[in-house]
Amino acid sequence: MFERKGEFSKPRFRIFITLLCRYSTLIMTHAYLIQVLKTLSTEEQKEVLLFTASPFFNRGKLNEDAHRLLQIILDEAHQRQEWAFDKVHLYKQLLPGEPYVEGKLEKIMADLNKMVRTFLTVNLYLDDTNQFQQTLDLAQILRKRGLESRYHAQIKTLNHIRSATNAITTDLQYKQFLLEHEHYGWESLNNRKKGDLNIPEVIKRLDLYYYTYRLELLNHLLLQFRVTKVEEMTPFGYLIQELPIPSRYLDAEPLLLITEKIHRLLTDVDPKVSDFFILANLLSQHENRIGPETLQRIYTFFRSLCAHFINSGYDDLLPVLHRINCKNIEKGIYIMKARFLPAPLQMLQMLPY
């Protein structure tokens, strides 16, 4: 079609390419935007309409058109099951009586796309579960602006948030590290050439989070290799060859101690049944100090580990698994949001009694 020299430079070809690019952009933006909007709950749809109506967030030249386009899309979606939209139809609804201008709808949709992405990010940040990070960020802002008394009030709030729960999780360990690091930042800024600047506590909190979370990930990797029956961990074997965890941390942090015990079972070529009972007793001893979701994850992992060894011929572990299952049912650990978790339920059905 374009064999003759100079054919690519002809105006007709350039117009064709321009229209093709614009249409492709519309299709891509359209598809992405619709996919995201389809995931919004009814309450989120109301909130995103308020968000796009705000002049603070909606500052584009086509801001009113973008907000109106969102209303049209959501109204249309409520009237039919399929989220399928024709650009000409949308244009007529959005700008009734105006002649169709190629590229204008794409610009409006691009602005709306950007606002919806911002809404999702802001909504996530302002969620009640993110209160600690919000408070910490505000404390840092106040510190940088030299508002010392206000800063210390925020730090006091952070300490209150941290102490509001005694349930140990890796998330709590990370928050404790962030808080101690903020103390270090303040001490460094106001260094009077005395004291330790809170550095030892920062290192301690960093170590506890690092060792616990690293072992948790490594245990998952080891179990994955066992279940998939991969004989060698190469090239990941180096991950296990690390310095031992200091005993002072194991004695001070039950979650780290339990995670380390699981790691020993995973790395032992021929683990003893008694070690599984020891781990079960350790979990019973400290389960009230561990966060519910973290505890559920540990028990699920422990059950999977027992099931794996039973399938490998360790029949003596059946009483251990039976005891864990009974205890988990009794304490409701199998249930999340008033529903049985499918994987544990399936495992219960497979076990002999």
Q: pLDDT (tens digit, 9 = 90+) per residue, 232-252?
A: 656 666 777 666 899 999 999
Beta bridge partners of 312: none
Which positions ≥6 away from 260 have C-beta within 8 Å?
A: 215, 245, 250
DSSP per position, 174-192: HHHHHHHHHHHHHHHHT--
Tokens at 279, concatenated: 């781990």
Q: Decide: 113 and 73 in contact? Cβ < 8 Å.
A: no
For 140-182, what is each residue's pLDDT tens digit? 999 999 999 999 999 999 999 988 877 899 999 999 999 999 9
**Segment (H or E) for 335:** strand 335-336
Q: What is the percent of the chain with per-residue pLDDT over 90, rounded to a whole number? A: 45
Which positions ≥6 away from 307 have C-beta within 8 Å?
A: 321, 347
CA distance linking residue 267 with residue 236, whole number of Å: 13
Quick one: pLDDT at residue 146?
92
Instruction: Count CB-CB contacts under 10 A for residue 341.
Output: 15
Q: Decide: 317 and 306 in contact? Cβ < 8 Å.
A: yes
Where do the H-state alpha helices sit in the chain?
A: 11-38, 42-53, 63-79, 87-94, 104-125, 131-144, 148-163, 170-189, 199-227, 247-252, 254-267, 273-286, 292-311, 318-331, 342-350
Tokens at 146, concatenated: 């030299």
The tally of CA atoms less than 13 A away on the side-chain side of residue 9 is 3
Grade residue 20 by pLDDT with cuts at 50, 70 and 90.
Answer: low
Q: Report the predicted TM-score, pTM, of the whole model to 2 decimal places.
A: 0.78
Quick one: pLDDT at residue 3?
46
For 59-87, what is each residue's pLDDT tens digit? 767 788 999 999 998 888 777 666 667 77
Grade residue 345 by pLDDT with cuts at 50, 70 and 90.
Answer: very low
CA distance linking residue 200 with residue 202, whole number of Å: 5
The single-letter code of the amino acid at 319 is: P
Instruction: For residues 112-134, give the mean pLDDT.
Output: 94
Render the burial of 194-213: b for 16+ CB within 10 Å, e for the rest: eeebbeebbebbbbbbbbbb
Which positions ≥6 away from 186 have C-beta within 8 Å?
A: 143, 151, 155
Quick one: pLDDT at residue 123?
95
Top mean pLDDT of 44-48, 93-97, 269-273, 311-315 is at: 44-48
> Average model confidence (pLDDT) for the chain?
83
CA-nearest of 132, 310, 251, 88 to 325 is 310
CA-nearest of 264, 274, 345, 266 to 312 is 266
Tokens at 83, concatenated: 């989220």
